[in-house]
Structure 1
Amino acid sequence: MPLWAALVVSGIGGALLDVALPSLAWWPMAWVAVALALVSLIGRRVGAALLTGLVFGLAFYLLNLDFTAAWVGPIPWLALSGLEALFVAGGAALIALAYRWVPRTVPRRGRVLVTSLLVAGLWTAREAVSGGFPYGGFPWGRVGTSQVNGPFAEVVSWTGTAGLTFLVVAVVAAGVELARAPRRRGARGVRWLLPVAVLALIATAMLAVPAWATTPAGTMRVASVQGNGPAGYFDVRDAGDVLESQYDATKPLFGSEDVDVVLWPEGSVDLDPEGSVAAAAALDRVTRQLGAPLVANRVDQRGDEYFNMSFLWRDGTGIEQTYDKRNPVPFGEYVPDREFYDAIAPDLIGMIGRDYTPGTNAPVFDIDGTIAGLAICFDVIYDALIWEGAADGAQVYLFQTNNADFRGTDENLQQLAVARLRAIETGRAVVNLSTVGTSQVIAPDGTTIDGLVADAPGHMLTDVPLRTGLTPAVVIGPWINAALSWGSVIVLAGLGVVAGVRARGNAKTPAP
């Protein structure tokens, strides 16, 4: 494919990957997007592959992350999109090397299988790198996440999101290779069918294997409240306005029976109840009227440090347990290397007046004997935190978020898609609660039990199923990620060494 055509095809592929994610969420487009990305890299040298991958990354991220420009302008949007696109470019260069080196080092009968698995592993490795670097990474817009609405979503309970990405790319890469492979008759043709059969078996298993079944352990009655208050960074408000909106939206629930826990979203308490008599009285009345503890969230200052803190409050005792957000958002909740970036964009950096410190405490609350796993906003996109909650005994997940800064965008739907995938991955129900929406209660199989419309106050009173037992994704997810990512890079490096040795050997062999 000429380079100009490859750039066009790659750009179309990047745009289609965005179509596969919310708000459109046309999951088959991810398969088409991956196919276009791969065919644009076949035969490319490293420099051209870098450019081709950069085009794919920019086309995807500029569309997918446009919500980052909603309130603060184009600079953060362009910077984040450009950075993530550079990671895609690096991954594209490695995939192009795989297409070059596999034919030089692998016997013909194994090339389809090796190429497919290696390309899929390198794609997964690129997602792993961008999801962990720099400043904790940004694992957003993964191919596996795009499949949450499709027939392959249940695979995630066995493999995690990285494994689902790997399988999707492997099947697509196999289709590309089979379309390119020369047809042969006789015994050679039969041998050619072996890798086809293996990959067909993988694809069939993705459709046929059900999600891992966790064990039912009763229910928890959760009263979750979406206050729709002025919780955005730029919303005009006085201290206590968000708390008031949450309290007002909770009052219709007063007198409800058999409530086990009340859940409020991220940023729901904008006064320190340990220093404000009025705030403490409001929280006490909520827990007293509903006869259940309250899980809420506020900013907590300890000395010179700030924490995005969720807490369990009970009438008469106040705060009993706390969880500090493990993954504060770089350039949103804190500024890494502040002096450096302040010299580049002082007006933007100056808007972030305080830096949140990452938490270290366990992401679970013990709510009268029921263990609830926790995640605050973008915490939900980090595999390790979710797996830690399940390993610590979580029987249900309570996700608190504040999407007020992204009203009118599809950010909340993209985050909700991740929450749905987490439910399937862990075999646990999820209560995903936002200040402004979209809020839903999600069953362990990913279906919606209850929900609230966005941009309006409301509440849900839901009997949420509890589960015990760990899925394979939770138990071996870290090993799957490491094996697919580092394993593929090691294999590629080995093929490169073999190809180089053979090339030097051929160069020294005299012509007959």
Structure 2
Amino acid sequence: MTAVAQSTVADIVRPRLGQVLWRSLLAAASGVLLYLSFAPRPLWWLAPVAFAGLGLTLHGRRFGAGCGYGFVFGLALFLPLLSWLQDFLGADFGPWPWLALSATLALYLAVVGGLITLVQGLPAAPVWSALIVIAAETPRAWFPLGGFPWGRVAFTQPEGAFVSLASVGGAPLVGFAVVLCGFGASALVRTLRRREGRLRPLLGPVAAVLVPVLAGLSVWTTVGTEAQAGTRTVAVVQGGAPDIGLALQGQRGLLRENHLAQTRRLRAEVDAGRVRKPDLVVWPESAASMPSDRERLDAMVDEAGASVLVGALERLPDGRVRNVVIAWEPGSGAGERYAKQQLVPFGEYVPARAIARLVTPFANGSDDVVPGDGRRAALPVAGVTVGVAVCYEVAYDYPGRDAVRGGAQLLTVPTNNAWYGRSEMSYQQLAMARLRAVEHGRSVVVAATSGVSAVIRPDGTVAASTSLFTPASLVEEVPLRSEVTLSDRLGAWPEYSMLGTAAAAVLAGLLRHRQRVVISRPGSIKPKPTR
């Protein structure tokens, strides 16, 4: 190769490498911004900024490059967001489960990045790009191993301008509004940089930015918080647990004793007149064992003189185990129960045990939990119908929706987060519960073994909460509501409509791309014959 040719190649390659590096850095920075918008930070407004950065990164790129930048964006999001897995597994297992899960979820965003490049040339491109982002969250809740919906865009919005939209279209609509606002801002920046001096090209991007914000603000007036079926005084018992990570395995007796002790302290507070006598007491997930603890729980509930929702691991007659929440009434004992349906892979059941032994401490010496039978999570207790979503289930749309359709006037989230140390996991889960409160128009009671426990109003605001790894009780009067939100009436239709529309947009983008390729081929357009 001659010196002139080498110089020419270098002149072409250097700018391209510089562009790749700049766009990769922008994609990574955008992913980090999206992570920073999640709890415990109240920075919900960073989420649209993150997608504005992603939109700038992907603009004008081809499919392969879009996949690459989407993957970088995904890794920059999920690696810090899921770092609590390290608190769970500890140093003995190394970083591989955390890295593998983060990379797997980032692959979804890699596909998103590639597909967005196909719709950029369509009219109203920010709309189709936003739909693709939210559509990818649907299969992520299905696959692999039952899915992992942690890190959905809507979960960045427990407060702020967009969360009210949950009452209309659930988490998918909230996420769509956030992403559309971000991609609209990206289009606006690009339009302004062209300095065309015309107003009309600005109208679409400005609408994409403003319409989601204005829609969210206007819907706030329809979010109801008043009691429609009276009120109940609800107590949350957080018995506490030692911050010992995996050493907590096998400490069921300690959890039970801690929660019995905290319930006695609550009773003493009531007897002293320092707090109101509760109508309903909520225990966390797996704070007891059944049937071995039945007699002690009977005595505890009778002494408390109040109905109690007890989270327990229940051994069935055939030896299998279920994760249940039991409605316990004074004098009559254990009543109806709900069994957790959405189990945590490698936590509550172990697929492919031979392989799983390499990555999870539960592969040896642990029983697979049996999922529930699909019964609606609505239990009659304390003269009210209470919905239940156990721990991980709060990340899924259907448990709360099914409970409300089953007549739930109040929602609860019993959870056991003691495994995850002082990480951000508990705060991320609390943000999901706040979104669910607005989505279903119900108060939500979060009862955690080690925190964060909370009582959440129907507008998503936190009435009271606890600290991590501190025994505590909360007593609050909550409104009972019977109105069914538009989101619950529509069910999964907004989600599936977005998925179908996104697929149609991608198909239109492919056809447009194919037509452009055909037209650009030499001789593909023949000159018209002259007469």
TM over 0.5: yes
TM-superposed deviation, 1:337: 3.3
Aligned twin of 1:509: 525
In 1, the alpha carbon distance for the partners of 2:384 and 2:340 equals 21
Moved more, 37-46 or 411-420: 37-46
Matched, 1:365 2:375: no
TM-superposed deviation, 1:388: 0.8
Percent identical: 32
In 2, the alpha carbon distance for the partners of 1:197 and 1:125 equals 22
TM-superposed deviation, 1:81: 0.6
SS at match of 2:447: strand
TM-superposed deviation, 1:205: 2.2
Q: What is the one-letter code of the residue matched to 1:490?
A: A
1:313–1:230 CA distance, 2 compared to 1 (3 A): farther
1:340–1:74 CA distance, 2 compared to 1 (3 A): closer
Moved more, 132-141 or 228-237: 228-237
Structure 2 counterparts to residues 173-188 of structure 1, below 5 A: 173-181=183-191, 182=194, 184=196
Aligned twin of 1:319: 334
1:428–1:46 CA distance, 2 compared to 1 (3 A): same
Q: What is the one-letter code of the residue matched to 1:219?
A: T
The Cα offsets for residues 164-188 of structure 1, whole Å up to 9 and x where unpaired, read as 11111112212222322355567xx
Q: What is the one-letter code of the residue matched to 1:378?
A: Y
1:237–1:167 CA distance, 2 compared to 1 (3 A): closer
TM-superposed deviation, 1:75: 1.9
Aligned twin of 2:235: 223
SS at match of 2:222: coil
Matched, 1:88 2:102: no
Moved more, 237-246 or 16-25: 237-246
1:381–1:262 CA distance, 2 compared to 1 (3 A): same
TM-superposed deviation, 1:158: 1.4
In 2, the alpha carbon distance for the partners of 1:395 and 1:346 equals 41
Aligned twin of 1:418: 432
Matched, 1:14 2:27: no
1:339–1:118 CA distance, 2 compared to 1 (3 A): same
Q: Unpaired runs of 5+ in structure 2?
A: 1-17, 271-275
TM-superposed deviation, 1:136: 1.7
SS at match of 2:58: coil
Q: What is the one-letter code of the residue matched to 1:329?
A: V
Matched, 1:206 2:206: no
- Native 8 Å contact 1:130 1:138 kept in 2: yes
Structure 2 counterparts to residues 32-431 of structure 1, below 5 A: 32-72=49-89, 73-99=94-120, 101-102=121-122, 111=123, 114-181=124-191, 182=194, 184=196, 189-190=199-200, 193=203, 196-197=206-207, 200-210=210-220, 212-214=222-224, 216=227, 217-230=229-242, 233-235=246-248, 240-254=253-267, 256=270, 258-269=277-288, 271-272=289-290, 274=291, 276=292, 279-302=293-316, 303-342=318-357, 345=358, 348=361, 350-351=363-364, 353-360=366-373, 361-431=375-445
1:401–1:500 CA distance, 2 compared to 1 (3 A): same
In 2, the alpha carbon distance for the partners of 1:140 and 1:210 equals 26
In 1, the alpha carbon distance for the partners of 2:63 and 2:161 equals 36
TM-superposed deviation, 1:132: 2.2
Matched, 1:27 2:24: no
Moved more, 33-42 or 201-210: 201-210
TM-superposed deviation, 1:352: 6.6
Q: What is the one-letter code of the residue matched to 1:426?
A: H
Q: What is the one-letter code of the residue matched to 1:328?
A: L
How many residues are matched?
A: 492
Q: Unpaired runs of 5+ in structure 1?
A: 103-110
In 1, the alpha carbon distance for the partners of 2:230 and 2:309 equals 20
Moved more, 388-397 or 19-28: 19-28
Aligned twin of 1:106: none
TM-superposed deviation, 1:492: 1.4
SS at match of 2:505: helix
The Cα offsets for residues 68-95 of structure 1, whole Å up to 9 and x where unpaired, read as 0114241221111111111111111111
- Native 8 Å contact 1:37 1:56 kept in 2: yes
Match of 2:465 among 451, 460, 463: 451
1:456–1:131 CA distance, 2 compared to 1 (3 A): same
User: TM-score, normalised to structure 1's length?
Assistant: 0.90
1:213–1:53 CA distance, 2 compared to 1 (3 A): closer
Q: How big is the alpha-carbon RMSD for the aligned residues of Structure 1 and Structure 2?
A: 2.3
- Native 8 Å contact 2:119 2:505 kept in 1: no
Q: What is the one-letter code of the residue matched to 1:76?
A: P
Q: What is the one-letter code of the residue matched to 2:329?
A: R
- Native 8 Å contact 1:309 1:325 kept in 2: yes
1:179–1:352 CA distance, 2 compared to 1 (3 A): farther
